[in-house]
Amino acid sequence: MNLIIDVGNTYTKIGVFEASKIIYKNTIKQHDFSQIIQKIKEKYPLITDTIVSSVSCIAEEDMTFVKKISNTIVLDHLVEMPFKNLYKTPTTLGIDRLALVAAAVDQFPNKDTLIIDAGTCITYDFKNKKEEYLGGAIGPGMRLRYESLHNFTAKLPLLEIAAPKNHIGTSTKEAIHSGVVFGIIHEINSIIEEYCNIYPDLTVILTGGDAHFLSKRLKNGIFATSNFLLEGLNHILAFNNNK
């Protein structure tokens, strides 16, 4: 069994895999880390291997604890990937994006694939049929856009995410919702269209915290999945263990 740990900016996502099947998933706050990992190990004593991906800082004592209970890979740019990385500055590439591409290689082999991760940022990552990662784009996510409108203006309120009823906002709140939500929807649809003009058989994956909210409002033909990053990390772990 594999233990998959993805340490984000606010929360940590944890998964337990039996081969390629996820059998446990949880999202926790950072201060609960060691206690919950201990409980998971007690519940799944057959866990032998772990991979840790961290876009934020993980406490040294937490990392030491993980290494004590299993063979552990800490994902960085030196870990071998199941694809060829053609990014010009690989050391600046977010390791979460590497995991997403690994999942695409595993689940959509030999297909031109665009992975859209809608979280704090919206990232676009592309791998081609030859399993080469070419790069992509990074933009502000939905929550970041709401916060920016509030923080960098004098009077605009900070709103919770909500679906606008139509494009014409008849109040300031409605106008903000329209600008943020429809702006992102049109952005994503337009980028997909641009990729499809070059790669007609494009496969599109939508994942991340806002994927469920956005998937209902985007054009059809998109695979929406909530476990894609964990699945990618599991594939990287299996790839390195089977070399």
Tokens representing 69 are 């209970």
Instruction: Establish whether domains 2-74 and 84-233 are of one fold.
Output: yes
Average pLDDT for the chain: 93
pLDDT digits (tens, 9 = 90+) for 58-80: 778 888 889 999 999 999 999 99
Structure tokens at 192: 């997909």
- Residue 8 pLDDT greater than 80, yes or no: no
Q: Is the pLDDT of residue 31 over 80?
A: no
Q: Tell me the pLDDT band of 90, cut-offs 50, 70 and 90.
A: very high
pLDDT reading at 146 higher than 90: yes
- The CATH code of domain 2-74 reads 3.30.420.40
Cα–Cα distance measured from residue 145 to residue 158, given in angstroms and rounded to the nearest whole number: 10
Q: What is the pLDDT at residue 170?
A: 95
pTM: 0.91
Cα dist from 176 to 98, 139, 162, whole Å: 33, 18, 10
Count of CB atoms situated within 10 Å of the CB of 146? 23
Which residues are catalytic, by number? 96
Q: What is the mean pLDDT of residues 40-50?
A: 95
Is residue 73 within 8 A of residue 198, CB to CB? The reply is no
Question: Which is higher by pLDDT, 31 or 242?
Answer: 242
pLDDT value for 7: 87
DSSP class of residue 240 equals H
| pLDDT > 80? residue 9 | no
pLDDT at residue 185 in the model = 96
User: Could you report the per-residue pLDDT of 150-202, keeping only the tens digit for each?
Assistant: 999 999 999 999 999 899 999 999 999 999 999 999 999 999 999 999 999 99
Q: Three-state SS for 213? A: helix
As a whole number, mean pLDDT of residues 77-106 equals 95
For the domain made up of 84-233, give the CATH fold: Nucleotidyltransferase; domain 5 (3.30.420)
The reported pLDDT for the residue numbered 35 is 87
Segment 192-229, tens digit of pLDDT? 999 999 999 999 999 998 999 999 899 877 999 989 99
Cα–Cα distances in angstroms (integers) from residue 60 to residues 34, 37, 52, 191, 202, in the given order: 11, 15, 13, 40, 42
pLDDT score recorded for residue 106:
97
Delimit the domains of the chain by residue range. 2-74, 84-233
